[in-house]
Chains A and B, each alone.
Chain A
């Protein structure tokens, strides 16, 4: 049973437009959520995170929104750039010393 779900395998957007990447979770014990970005032939790198006590966290062009009642989070990238083309993994943990549970990932393509 997958506890972190990224139901869309891919997303294609035009450069300059908004990219919205969605993630759903089932475990109500999760209290911290992260997005990792992965380029081909490289390991994932941490992008942005949000604690369950917040509903929004912003870092430059990247904003993560958390809807706890819906068990849903989303990553917004505005404006999207070709260099944002990568695989994005949603991850969650239940406590600071708890393991990360990852989603399947979504491949974002930003068209010039």
Chain B
């Protein structure tokens, strides 16, 4: 089954404790992206990757890091989480020439206290 998976689905952590949210897709997609969804703000792009070893900032990259060492994986790293990073996070992927038609993962609900 073609899918985008994220882990963990739910995470409660404390300020400053480094964490990684994993994202994996099995569709051989070149393009991968991370979004956060906040009430009243919709979906905002954090980082994206056009292919292996190629990443770039989205609209709200502050406080986040990403890496793309393999085509299928695109982890989101929070080196020192803060309460304003409490949010619902989505990973998405698509073919490089069809970025407009993205497949989303189920989401990760992160709470930073």
- B74 within 8 A of partner (CB): no
Contact code string B46-73 (vs A, CB < 8 Å = 1, else 0): 0010000000001000000000000000
CA distance in complex: A43, B41 (Å): 16
B45 touches A99 (CB 8 A): yes
* Min C-beta distance of A59 to chain B, whole Å: 14
- Give the number of A-B contacts (CB < 8 Å): 60
A99 touches B107 (CB 8 A): no
A44 touches B99 (CB 8 A): no
Interface residues of A: mostly helix, strand, loop or mixed?
loop
**Cross-chain contact of A89 among B43, B99, B101 (Cβ < 8 A):** B43
User: Which residues from chain B contact A6 at a C-beta distance below 8 Å?
Assistant: 42
CA distance in complex: A41, B90 (Å): 11
A98 touches B42 (CB 8 A): no
A34 touches B90 (CB 8 A): no
B107 touches A42 (CB 8 A): yes
CA distance in complex: A42, B9 (Å): 10
When C-beta atoms are compared, the residue in chain A nearest to B104 turns out to be A43
User: Which residues from chain A contact B58 at a C-beta distance below 8 Å?
Assistant: 99
* Min C-beta distance of B56 to chain A, whole Å: 9
CA distance in complex: A98, B97 (Å): 9
Given contacts A89-B43, A102-B43, A104-B40, contact A96 B102 (CB under 8 A): no
A97 touches B40 (CB 8 A): no
When C-beta atoms are compared, the residue in chain B nearest to A2 turns out to be B42
Contact code string A48-80 (vs B, CB < 8 Å = 1, else 0): 010000000000000000000000000000000
Give the A-binding residues of B (Cβ under 8 A): 4, 33, 35, 40-45, 48, 58, 90, 92, 96-107
Give the B-binding residues of A (Cβ under 8 A): 6, 9, 32, 34, 36, 41-46, 49, 89, 91, 93, 96-100, 102-105
The 8 closest A-B pairs by CB, nearest first: A43-B104, A104-B42, A102-B43, A93-B100, A102-B42, A44-B104, A43-B106, A43-B105
